[in-house]
Structure 1
Amino acid sequence: MTIAVTGATGQLGRLVLEELLTNQEPASLVAVVRDAAKAEELRARGVQVRVADYSDPAALEAALAGVDKLLLVSGSEVGARVAQHANVVTAAKAAGVGFIAYTSVLAADTTELILAPEHKATEQLIRGSGLGFTFLRNGWYTENYAQTVATARQTGAVVAAAGDGRVASATRADYAAAAAAVLTTAGHEGRTYELSGDHAWDFEELATAITELAGKEVVYRPVSAPELVQLLTAAGLDEGTAGFLAALDTDTKAGLLATVTGELSGLIGRPTTPLLQALQSAAAS
């Protein structure tokens, strides 16, 4: 069985390959990358490295030749992802891939989360392709708060428009372990997994964790979404990015990232990584 991972040198794809390398022959793994130079370490370990961009259908089809199972790691270009993902799905079908696992988002077909529409559309594309599939609806990554941690260590405050909203986050390594399990064990085809951390923390807890990490007091300072936009633009962000980040906080305040399902820890056979431990690991790296 040959397994391919797209975005294989990215933050999530790289970790999935590390998980796969613990129990799969390197030659049975395909790393689909945009920049071969970034994958030299994988090539040296015996992984097949194939170059293809999500915007290049011909290269994608060539890269997926002989692949049995594919992990499609969602692209990072918000607004362009549906077309890019469609290219991958079409290429996978043309190349004879039998199964696609896709990294989606929690409750993709029902949530009001600002990031969900492209994931919902991609799920529909995959369902319509006739290929076997599993949807890995990943919740929030704890590493998404790395900049929040860095800023709070300097200023002594976590400033957010999230109110008393909670986040059931887990680490990229947790989600990567789930993806590897789905790719290498039976019984997952046709399944949709709602994946999230075992505990939904609030921003007071985040501030407490950063306090322990930083060795000085950090407090949570809630603000309104318009206030956050003002603060972010004053710090140098453009209006579009500031508005997007404020919208994410608004979604958090509405509870859209708080769902705890237990399905992630069930797939990986262990508890998800606790908030403080995750932040300590992120800081160390």
Structure 2
Amino acid sequence: MHRNFFSVLRQKDAIFQGFRMASTSSIQGKLSGKVAIVTASTEGIGLAIARRLGQDGASVMVSSRKQDNVSRTVEQLKSENLQVEGMVCHVGKAEDRTSLIQQTVSKFGGLDFVVSNAAANPAFGPILDTPESAWDKIFETNVKATFFLIKEAVPHMEKRGGGSVVIVSSFAGYTPMEFLGPYSVSKTALIGMTKALVPQLSTMNIRVNCVAPGIIKTKFSEQLWKTSAVKDMLMQMIPMKRIGEPSEISGLVSFLCSDDASYITGETTLATGGIPGRL
């Protein structure tokens, strides 16, 4: 009788311990113990991604070209009890990219995720009117800097046994926008870069995926959604009939970083409110 009594207690204790472990895991978050870099992460989509990765348990290094923006964002996210640090980084400068990676590894002990979100678009108008300097700026920032940031981060991710890279492209990479021609072409290049990186990164257990947002309510895109005539035209394109929010991209990025996406690499996922995309 006593043996049966203590056997029942042990079973109950085992059940309680399992429940407690599951609860702790849930509280810690699916990215607990991981370290992420998010470029251009002091506003808009980048800020939403940094916040979500932090909420899901990761330690996050935020960055921007301006110290005031970095300081404000770090203070804001730390007030939300998230594990973040920040530093100035102009992704177009090789020394800034190197410093971003080195400081992240130094502060957090390693690197697991890279989210390349930084982009530039100095030209708005017919594509044939775009000067060479604008093409250079767009491709230096959007394409070349993305590649070399990933290249420099890869050895640190490999040391951790693998990781995840997420590149932020755009639906315009599939369907170029008339007055954003060079920008659209750069975003097409990022979709191609994602595919090109897969064979080599897969041997290192590093996954690489791309997200292609539609029209998202950010300062970067306000020329599109703040102008009534343009917004009315966009509403005809979007089946869901609304502009997206940055938080609607961040959950997708967190998923692609997590073990829930452990068999997904080389893919570009559209988040457009229904705007179709084909390359």
Shorter-chain-normalised TM-score: which range?
0.5 to 0.7
How many aligned residue pairs are there? 194
The answer to whether structure 1 residue 39 and structure 2 residue 70 are counterparts is yes
Aligned to 2:98: 61
The answer to whether structure 1 residue 93 and structure 2 residue 168 are counterparts is no
The answer to whether structure 1 residue 177 and structure 2 residue 251 are counterparts is yes
Task: Assess, with a 3 A threshold, how the Cα gap between structure 1 residues 151 and 139 changes in structure 2: closer, same or farther.
Answer: closer
How many angstroms does 1:259 deviate by?
5.0
Whether contact under 8 Å (2:52, 2:254) holds in the other structure is yes
TM-score scaled to structure 1, two decimals?
0.56
Aligned to 2:276: 258
- Equivalents in 1 of 2:113, 2:247: separation in Å? 20
- Equivalents in 1 of 2:268, 2:188: separation in Å? 18
Aligned to 2:197: 126
Greater CA radius of gyration, 1 or 2?
Answer: 2
Deviation string 1:170-226 (CA, Å, 9 cap, x unpaired) is 32220122112322443244152422244x4xxxxxxxxxxxxxxxxxxxxxxxxxx
Task: Assess, with a 3 A threshold, how the Cα gap between structure 1 residues 60 and 128 changes in structure 2: closer, same or farther.
Answer: farther
Deviation string 1:1-30 (CA, Å, 9 cap, x unpaired) is 2122111113111111222232326xx221
Flag structure 2 segments of 5+ consecutive residues without an equivalent: 1-33, 122-137
Task: Assess, with a 3 A threshold, how the Cα gap between structure 1 residues 167 and 36 changes in structure 2: closer, same or farther.
Answer: same
Task: Assess, with a 3 A threshold, how the Cα gap between structure 1 residues 90 and 40 changes in structure 2: closer, same or farther.
Answer: same
State how 1:148-187 maps to structure 2 within 5 Å. Answer: 150-152=226-228, 158=229, 166-168=237-239, 170-187=244-261
Flag structure 1 segments of 5+ consecutive residues without an equivalent: 153-157, 201-256, 261-285
- Equivalents in 2 of 1:174, 1:54: separation in Å? 25
Aligned to 2:52: 19
TM-score scaled to structure 2, two decimals?
0.57
Task: Assess, with a 3 A threshold, how the Cα gap between structure 1 residues 107 and 38 changes in structure 2: closer, same or farther.
Answer: closer
- Equivalents in 2 of 1:194, 1:60: separation in Å? 26
Task: Assess, with a 3 A threshold, how the Cα gap between structure 1 residues 196 and 174 changes in structure 2: closer, same or farther.
Answer: same
How many angstroms does 1:165 deviate by?
5.5
Whether contact under 8 Å (1:85, 1:122) holds in the other structure is no
- Equivalents in 1 of 2:261, 2:224: separation in Å? 39
Relative to total residues, which structure has the larger helix share, 1 or 2? 2
Aligned to 1:221: none
Task: Assess, with a 3 A threshold, how the Cα gap between structure 1 residues 33 and 142 changes in structure 2: closer, same or farther.
Answer: closer
